Copies of this chain bind each other. A is one copy, B any other.
Amino acid sequence: MTTTRQDLSELLERSGVRATPRRLEVLEELARESDDVTAQQLWSRLRERDSRAGLATVYRTLALLSEKGVIDVLSHHGGEQCYRLCGDAHHHHLLCEKCHRVVEIQECGLDDWVAAAANEHGFVATEHRVEIVGLCADCR
């Protein structure tokens, strides 16, 4: 992960989010994680790094970032939301049901299938979500 603090600061500004020290700490921690994390996991990792960030701020920042499309939200744990810094393009996720690894599927080629399925029932599709659950190379 070669993402420098400067890059992250620019990412925030570009997304219409003011780059405050706290928000940079949160985003920096997200960039450090390879898999997705819950708000509380993220908060305790920040604490281990001697950040004084409050839990409410972590929640506020994650809500803001997902609203602005900077991060993805996954709901594959029961009730608990997971957050992940992802690529910009539309994509979906592969989830390992054993080790919880998350991998991005670039190139969602489903637009035609989605449009057809929606049209068949008189719908116009505006969005679609796909999650594939399985076992990763290490776990099977």
A: which residues have CB within 8 A of B? 75, 79, 92, 94, 96-97, 103, 105, 109-110, 113-114, 117-118, 120-137, 140
Tell me how many chains of this kind the complex includes.
Answer: 2
In contact, A94 and B79 (Cβ under 8 angstroms): no
Check A94/B118 contact, CB under 8 A, given A123-B134, A124-B134, A134-B125. Answer: yes
Q: Is the CB of B127 within 8 A of A105?
A: no
Q: Is the CB of B109 within 8 A of A132?
A: no
Bound CA–CA A126/B134 (angstroms): 5
Please give, as numbers and ranges, the residues of chain B lying within 8 Å of A140 by CB-CB distance.
124
In the bound assembly, the distance between CA atoms of A26 and B133 in angstroms comes to 30
A132 contacts B103, CB within 8 Å? no
